Amino acid sequence: MFRGSLFALAFSATLWAAAERKPQEQAREPQNPVGYSADTVREGRKTYLRLCQYCHGADGRALANPDFEAPSLRAPSEWRHGSSDAELFVSIRDGAGHEMPPFGRQLGDDKIWQLVHYVRSIGPKELRAAPAKQGQ
């Protein structure tokens, strides 16, 4: 009984700590398992130009298509579905809102993580992952 409440206390403290973190701090966590490099960004860009520019615009600013209210991918602070790497991944894999289609079936996880790197590369510098260290 006593142990149970200690556990509950520790658990709520963890939840509280997670809630206290600013979105920007969460976004900076190195969650992307694919290393950030010129190559991964280039691969992500290829996929982006093939599948995403139709709605989000060639430069990510989303002024291209009046039929979709796509957000600018250069402004994570305005996103509605989260701006951490993991949330960005989920938006691409599962889609977002009513109009952003899911790409999980079409793209494997690695391709989506490359896209995450590409989207970071056109967004604010401070949210980019550090380049992978040599040998990784």
Out of 55, 64, 75, 86, the only residue in the binding site for ligand HEC (CB under 6 A) is 55
Does residue 104 sit in helix, strand or coil?
Answer: coil
Interaction pattern, residues 104-133, with ligand HEC; x per rule: CB under 6 A: -----------x---x--------------
The residues that bridge with 94 in the sheet, in sequence order, are none
Closest separation between CB of residue 101 and ligand HEC, Å?
Answer: 6
What is d(CA 129, CA 136) in angstroms, rounded to the nearest whole number?
Answer: 14
Closest separation between CB of residue 70 and ligand HEC, Å?
Answer: 4
What is d(CA 127, CA 51) in angstroms, rounded to the nearest whole number?
Answer: 23
What is d(CA 71, CA 88) in angstroms, rounded to the nearest whole number?
Answer: 13
Stretch that binds ligand HEC, among 12-20, 34-42, 52-60, 121-129 (CB under 6 A): 52-60
Unique residue bearing structure tokens 């079409």: 106
Interaction pattern, residues 62-101, with ligand HEC; x per rule: CB under 6 A: ------xxxx-x-----xxx------x--xx---xxxxxx
107, burial (CB in 10 Å: exposed 0-12, middle 13-18, buried 19+)? middle
Does residue 24 sit in helix, strand or coil?
Answer: helix
Site of interaction with ligand HEC (CB under 6 A): 51-52, 54-56, 68-71, 73, 79-81, 88, 91-92, 96-101, 103, 115, 119
